[in-house]
Structures are given as structure tokens and as C-alpha cells.
Structure 1
Amino acid sequence: MYLLEWMVVLDHKRYKPGSIWDEQQKKNAESEKKHEKKLFSQGLGHLLTAKESDIRESRSEVVDDNCSIYRKTSAYLDVCTYNDDKRGLLTLLFSVICYGLYTCTYILGFLIFQLITGKDSFGFDFEPDLDFWIGFFGFAVIAPVVWGCFFRYLLKAWRLEAFTKRRLVVRFNRVTRKVYLLRPGFLGGVKAYDWEEVDAILPKNMPNHEGIGGMLVLAVKTEENENPYRDFGVDGAFLGLPSRDYQHLLSFWEYIRRFMEDGADAVPAPKRLRSKWPNPLSSMWTVSRLSLPGGFDLGRSFLWLRLALTPVFVIWGLGHYASLLLSYEGRFPKAIRQASGESELRSWLELLAYNLLPLLYTAVGLWLYYAWRHGLDWRLPLQYLGV
């Protein structure tokens, strides 16, 4: 679920004066000003313009890809974002809501059918009574209101994990010295920033056990900003799977830094590239890990609890898989693909395969399950097609 990216975008917008969001922006700005005054009073005002980390400075002797790499070539490195795997619960919730909306609409339609035809569900003559009119007007009011609220408010929240790009990708191109962000429009869209502009939020002298939220945070100051209480905007990305500790996070950053500064041969090949194929089993495995900020892995630490919660993970995993199927696999614009040396033929084939094949093998799997449950011949669709 792309909640963190959404919050970054919301902080850039201008809101109606006096609204909740406007007041929150004002409080944040006041807090930042107090922090600035405190730094200046301590003679540390230069820290406001200094980066947390120098991209040319090595911060670790060990490199680790953190199992967060989609693709590594001699020119670019595609890295996953922190929230790509945090999905499924919203899809389960909104699926229940959609089922309720469908039920209300079906009942309303049936009541209208009875009123028009004068027949009940058994085909007998029907005369509307008081109970009928109460139910009819109740559903006639409730159904449109709930549908309106769903499309006006709830559907926007659902887009944080469905009806959007399946994954957000950050591409580090050492040839163009650029960092490219692949995102849907409502999360900031596709952006390109100079490598030298990027700041990795990695404070020095942090104790290893404190960590930094388990993720690598990249930040860039931009001029795109509608927030009236701030003179600049901040864009960025939340990279990689949760790290075990701070040293692990530094080794992950070192992998990226050496790739960009020293070349593709300066870092080893990823231990295992992340797959882009939706898979119900991998979805269940993903949600069962329950990787929390700071690298705390419930699945690794409490195997017995993981086994006890297996039914929950199965249901959650199906929601995770459904959210992937309800989304689409995106790709970078043509200019970025050309700058990265991507093959156009391969790009088109991957686009078609990642978007069409999951729907196909999911439909086949559902049919095989349905045929097995009802004792049907699984070859029936082939017979209908004359194969």
C-alpha cells in the first residue's frame, strides 16, 4: 500500500484555509521553524542545508542487495520500494463493501421489478404494502448514497493498492547519472533527478540497534510545491525491503552507491532478483513474513505464531494477490528506456506478458478448482472451442 508516498504528495498541496489539512501543514511548518531556530542558536545552522550523507563517501565495507533488485545491467539498477509488498488488506475490506453495494443494488432492482410487473418472486400477484414501501424507499435512498460515497471518497483510498501500478520502481542509471522514479500520477508521476541532488537519509554515528525505520529513504528538494507554509518541496522514495539493523541498511546503500560511483562490476550480482509475476503462493508467503519497520520479521522470530496464523495469512494472501491482478505492470517512458539502453521489443513483450498472462493463468486455475469441486471435466472449455 503506497501510504507513505501518498502522504508526501499530500504535504505538497494547498488546502482550503482553516481545513484540517491546512492546520496540520501550519503546525508542521511551525515545528520546523522552531527546530531551525534551535539549530542556529547552537551554531549548527549549516546543518539545514547540508545533506545527511555524501554520496561519494563510503559508509560500509560490506555491500548487500537486500533482495530488493528487479534488474541489474551495466547501465542501470532497478530497485523496489518499501511499500510494494504491504498490500491486500484494503482490497479485502473494499471487496466486502462492494459485495454489500451489489446486494443493496440487487434488492432495489428486484423491488422495482416487483413494482413494475406486479408479481412476486414466485410469480404470484403482488400488492405493495407498508413494509414493501418502507423497504423500497429505504433501499432507494441508501443505495445511491453509499455508491456516491464509495466513488467520491473510498475509491481514492483503494487506489493506494489497486487500480494503479503494481509496483513503484526506482532506477539508478550510472550512464546518465540520473535517478528515475516510476510512479502513477496521483503519487507524483514519473520524475528524473540528478544523482548528485539525491540525499540518502543516513545520519552518522547512529547506534546500530536504533535503525532508521527499516527502509532506505531518498530525498530531493524540488521547486514543485503548493504548500503555502514552505518555500520548497521534498520528493523522494522509500527503498528496499525492511533492513535488519542500521548496518544492514548502510550495506544496502553502499551497494547502490558503488554501482553509481564505481561501476556495475564494483558490486556482485544480486543474490536473487525479485520476480514481477503475481503468484498466490508468493503473496501468502509475503504477507506471512510480517516484516515491520526496523527489520523485525515476525515470521522469522515467531515461527509458531506464523503457523498458528496460517488461515489469516491465506485470506490476506488472496487479498494481496487480488490487488496485484486489479493493478497493471507499468514501464518507464520511451525516452528513459532509450537512455537506459532497453530493447523496445523486450519492453513490449514484457508489458504484454506481465499484464495478460497473470489474468490467463488465474482464470485457468479458478476453472480447474471449480471443475474439481463440482466433478466436471476440466476439458469442457476446450470442447466448446472445438479443440
Structure 2
Amino acid sequence: MYLLEWMVVLDHKRYKPGSIWDEQQKKNAEHEKKHEKKLFAQGLGHLLTTKESDIHESRSEEVDDNGGICRKTSTYLDVCTYNDDKRGLLTLILGVLSYGVVPWGVFIVFATYVMLSTGLQVSGDSIDLEAILVAGLSYVFLAGVAYVFCRFLFKIWHLEAFTMRRLVVRFNRETRKVYLLRPGFLGGVKSYDWEAIDAILPKDIPNHEGIGGMLVLAVKTEENENPYRDFGVDGAFLGLPSRDYQHLLSFWEYIRRFMEDGADAVPAPKRLRSKWPNPLSSMWTVSRLSLPGGFDLGRSFLWLRLALTPVFVIWGLGHYASLLLSYEGRFPKAIRQASGESELRSWLELLAYNLLPLLYTAVGLWLYYAWRHGLDWRLPLQYLGV
């Protein structure tokens, strides 16, 4: 669920004076000003204009791809974002809600059609005041549910479904640019100079196990509607959760060396992230429950992981459904050309990643249904005359 990215976008907007969001922006601005005054009083005012990480400075002798690389070429490096795998629960809850409401709504419309066309209820009884009252209340309830869903719930569901399956950050060492691939409501596609990027990695942090988190990239921008701040902040949350701070530094070092020293300066990723939706991999992903700091049920809580297997199976189906309800995006043509991408390969990948998952999922569901009901799995082929 792209909640963090959404919150960054919300912080840039202008809201009605006196509203909850406006008051929150005002409080955040006051807190930032107090922090600035404190730094100046301590003689540390220069830290406000100094980036946390100098991209020319090596912060680690080790490099680690952190399992977050989607593609590596001699020109560019595609890195996943942290929240790509944090999905499924919303789709599960709202999907169940839709499954319960939509069929009922269809039945109400059908029943109304029968009443108007035949003058009788679906049961065959004559229409009375009670039947009219029930139908009217049903329509009022459906209208209320539809309003709440469209006004509020769909926006929340949009954070993990009916959107891009993954957000991608591309580091192009030839153009010296960092490109962000995102849907419009999360900031859209953006391009920033490599030199302007700041990796939020403070120095002198002890490397304790469990203090890792995610790699945060930030850049100051002029795009800002927030009346309480003179500048905007854009960025991305990269990679998978790091087990400790050294792991986080080694992940940043992998990216930094690629951009500064070249593609040969870093090893090939141990394993590229797959873009193919898979129900088994979805169940594996949610069962790990990987959180910032390296908390991972797959590492330390195997017994709990086994006990919660039924929960992970159901959650994994929601995760897989959210992937199928989303689409695989790609960078605009200008960025693809600057990166040396093949247009033919780009089009083939776009079609394959968006169409084939729907096809093999439909085939899998049919085979399961045919097996459970003792049907011949070749029936669809027979209908097609194959």
C-alpha cells in the first residue's frame, strides 16, 4: 500500500483554512521552525543546508543489492520501492464488501424489474405496501453504500489496487538523472539531477541489530502549494527492509558506486525482482511480515509463521488479487530512449506483464473448478472447436 508516498503528496497541497489538514500542516511548520532555532542556538545552523549524505563519499566498504533491483544494464539501474509488497489486506476487506453488496444490488434491480413488468414480486405474491417499502429502503441503503465507497473507500483502495503494481526509481548514469515512475495521484513521473538527491543516512549511528529500516531519497523542489513552507520535498522509499544500519549503508553504496564508478563497479544482483504475479510468491511475501528494522517472521519466528499459515494463505490471495487489479507501468518514451531501451522489447513486456497474468490466472481457476466438480478440463477447447 503506497501510504507513505500518498502522505508526501498530501503534505504539498493547500487545504481549506481551519480544516484538519490545514491545522496539521501549520503544526508541522511550527515544529520545523522550533527545530531550526534550536540548531542555530547550538551553532549547527549549517546542517539545515547540508545534505545527510554526500553522493561522492563512500559510506561502506561492502555493497549489497538488498534484493531490490528490477533491472541492471550498463546504462541504468531500476530499483523497487519499499511499499510495493505492502498490500493485500485492503483488497481482501473491500473485495469481500463488494462481493456482498454487488450481488444484492443486482438482485434488487432484478426484483424491481419483475415488479414493474409483471405486477408481482419475485416470489409470485402480489405487490403490497411492505414490498414497496423494502424496495425503497434497499435503494436508499445501496445509494448510501455507493456514495461512501466512491467518496472515501475507493481512494483508499486506490493505494494498492487499480494503480501501478510497482513504483520504480531509475538511476541513469549517462544522463546523471534519477527518474521516478509513479501514477499521477502519487506525484507522477519526475526527473531529478543525481547531484540534487540526498540519501537520508545520518552519520555516527551505531550498527545495532534491528536498527535498519528503509533507504529514503529526498530532493527539494519548487512544486509546493503548502502555504506554511517555502519549498516542497519529493523522494522515494527504496528497497526492502534492511536488517541493520550497515546493511542500509551497503545498499546505498551499491547505488552510489553504480552512478559514480560505473556498472562494472558493482556485482550483478544476486536475484532480480520478478514482475510476474504469482499466488505462491504472494503468500510467501505476506508471511514474512518484513518491517523496518529487519523484523522478519521468516528469520526468527518460524513457529508463529507456521501457526498463522491459514491467515497468510487468505492474505496472500488478497495480495495476488491486488496485483491482478493493477497494471504494470513503464517510463515515458523520452526516458526510455535516454536509457537505450528497445521499443519492441518495451511493448512486448507491457503486453505480456499486463495480459498473461490474467490469462494464466483464468486457466488456473478453471482447472481448479473442473477438478473440484469432476468436469473435463478440455471443455473450453471443445467449445472453441480446437
1:67·1:273 contact (CA, 8 Å) conserved in 2? yes
Number of the residue aligned with 1:71? 71
Q: TM-score, normalised by structure 1?
A: 0.97
Q: What does 1:238-253 correspond to in 2, within 5 Å?
A: 238-253=237-252
Counterpart CA distance in 2 for 1:244 and 1:125 is: 67
In structure 2, do the counterparts of structure 1 residues 324 and 345 end up closer, same or farther at CA, with 3 Å as the change threshold? same
In structure 2, do the counterparts of structure 1 residues 321 and 348 end up closer, same or farther at CA, with 3 Å as the change threshold? same
In structure 2, do the counterparts of structure 1 residues 55 and 3 end up closer, same or farther at CA, with 3 Å as the change threshold? same
Report deviation, 1:108: 2.5
The answer to which of 108-117 and 28-37 deviates more is: 108-117
Report deviation, 1:153: 1.5
RMSD (CA atoms): 1.2
Counterpart CA distance in 2 for 1:268 and 1:38 is: 44
Number of the residue aligned with 2:236? 237
Counterpart CA distance in 1 for 2:115 and 2:380 is: 40
How far does the alpha carbon of each residue in 1:6-40 deviate from its partner, in whole angstroms, 9 at most, with x for none? 00000000000000000000000000000000000
Counterpart CA distance in 2 for 1:95 and 1:220 is: 37
How far does the alpha carbon of each residue in 1:106-140 deviate from its partner, in whole angstroms, 9 at most, with x for none? 34224423532232334x3413143x233222112
Counterpart CA distance in 1 for 2:99 and 2:221 is: 43
Number of the residue aligned with 1:93? 93
Counterpart CA distance in 2 for 1:103 and 1:310 is: 30
Number of the residue aligned with 2:51? 51
Report deviation, 1:209: 1.7
SS at match of 2:78: strand
SS at match of 1:18: coil
How far does the alpha carbon of each residue in 1:216-250 deviate from its partner, in whole angstroms, 9 at most, with x for none? 00000000000000000000000000000000000
1:118·1:125 contact (CA, 8 Å) conserved in 2? no
Counterpart CA distance in 2 for 1:196 and 1:169 is: 19
Counterpart CA distance in 2 for 1:353 and 1:346 is: 10
2:212·2:244 contact (CA, 8 Å) conserved in 1? no
SS at match of 1:359: helix
Q: What does 1:1-387 correspond to in 2, within 5 Å?
A: 1-116=1-116, 117-122=118-123, 124-130=124-130, 132-209=131-208, 214-387=213-386
1:200·1:216 contact (CA, 8 Å) conserved in 2? yes
Q: TM-score, normalised by structure 2?
A: 0.97
Q: Between the two proteins, what is the percent identity of the paired residues?
A: 83
1:67·1:274 contact (CA, 8 Å) conserved in 2? yes
Report deviation, 1:149: 1.6
Counterpart CA distance in 1 for 2:103 and 2:380 is: 30
| Structure 1 ranges of 4+ moved more than 4 A | 210-213
* Unpaired segments ≥5 residues, structure 2: none
2:90·2:160 contact (CA, 8 Å) conserved in 1? yes
2:56·2:260 contact (CA, 8 Å) conserved in 1? yes
1:101·1:147 contact (CA, 8 Å) conserved in 2? no
Counterpart CA distance in 1 for 2:107 and 2:384 is: 36
Report deviation, 1:145: 1.5
Counterpart CA distance in 1 for 2:264 and 2:127 is: 82
The letter of the residue matching 2:8 is V
The letter of the residue matching 1:22 is D
Report deviation, 1:266: 0.4
SS at match of 1:354: helix
2:212·2:247 contact (CA, 8 Å) conserved in 1? no
Report deviation, 1:345: 0.6
How far does the alpha carbon of each residue in 1:189-218 deviate from its partner, in whole angstroms, 9 at most, with x for none? 000000000000000001112766610000
* Number of aligned positions between the proteins: 385
* Unpaired segments ≥5 residues, structure 1: none
